[in-house]
Amino acid sequence: MKNVVVLIGSGSIGQAIARRVGAGNHIVLGDLKIEAAEAAAKIFENAGFEVSTVAVDISSRSSILNLIEHARQFGAIKNLINAAGVSPSQASVEKILQVDLYGTAVLLEEFGKVIADGGSGVVISSQSGHRLGALTEEQNAKLATSPTEELLSIDFLKEITDTLKAYQYSKRCNVLRVMYEATIWGKRGATINSISPGIIITPLAADELKGPRGEGYRNMLKASPAGRAGTPDEVGDLAEFLMSSRGRFISGADFLIDGGTTASYWYGDLQYLKKTH
């Protein structure tokens, strides 16, 4: 029996993190599309990792429980990496809230019941959550602590009609939910944090930069403090630190890794973006 690393969402960022924490462990690759998980598994296996795959829909509690049952066959679940989600251009308001908001909350809840002592998890959120204005203390508390099965019934979430707003609220909820769950995971000797990346070059992002909205994205990156997009490996390096022995005093925190884009969005050269967001 080995320690188990569970990765949900087999894209470039999730793979970069799993490569850094998966050596000598069993990696479970979960994805909505089993063919995507299997394609990623071949890459890992060719690099010497031990891997298994499973189809998972994080908007379904039963699917998450099936994932956990699969993972526990191989040993204690030591690490959770949630890199799954849908974007504003990919899905409806309802689907975004079901997957990115509710699904992530259920995932944290269920893995918090089985995570091993000394274990750790990271949730890949987004800079979009930092572009949402300040919420009230009551709204924060509802997003952070409401029973998972009541989340989608929260009054202000039911009023959302725009997919970008749904995405922003979902990502803000991810960060708040991580804070709440950190108090529970800590009782099992485990840590949980979130990472909020900006534009990271993945195959999808590369296509966007070359697409009809590419010029706007390129100008935005050029005007950001870093002057460029990020790479999956830079997110992987941050996640590795958080999940290592050096990160044991860090839990319930969110880390913005966007080259300063959010800072510029609120206070710098990118304030013009507020008009389109």
Which of 262, 270, 226, 269 is CA-nearest to residue 133? 262
- The secondary structure element, H or E, covering residue 42 is helix 34-46
Exactly one of 167, 169, 180, 265 is catalytic; name it: 167
Which of 273, 274, 88 is CA-nearest to residue 163? 88
Which token pair is 161? 């009609």
Q: Whole-angstrom Cα distance, residue 74 to residue 25?
A: 9
Exactly one of 169, 171, 180, 265 is catalytic; name it: 171
Q: Is 171 a catalytic residue?
A: yes
Which of 4, 29, 20 is CA-nearest to residue 247? 20
Q: Whole-angstrom Cα distance, residue 220 to residue 270?
A: 7
Q: Whole-angstrom Cα distance, residue 143 to residue 101?
A: 9
In this structure, the chain runs to a length of 277
DSSP string, 125-188: --GGGGGSPPPPHHHHHHHHHS-GGGGGG-HHHHT---HHHHHHHHHHHHHHHHHHHHHHHGGG
CB 13 within 8 A of CB 236: yes
Q: Is 265 a catalytic residue?
A: no
Q: Whole-angstrom Cα distance, residue 201 to residue 229?
A: 6
Identify the sign of the CA torsion 238, 218, 83, 197. Answer: positive
Instruction: Tell me which residues are annotated as active site.
Output: 167, 171
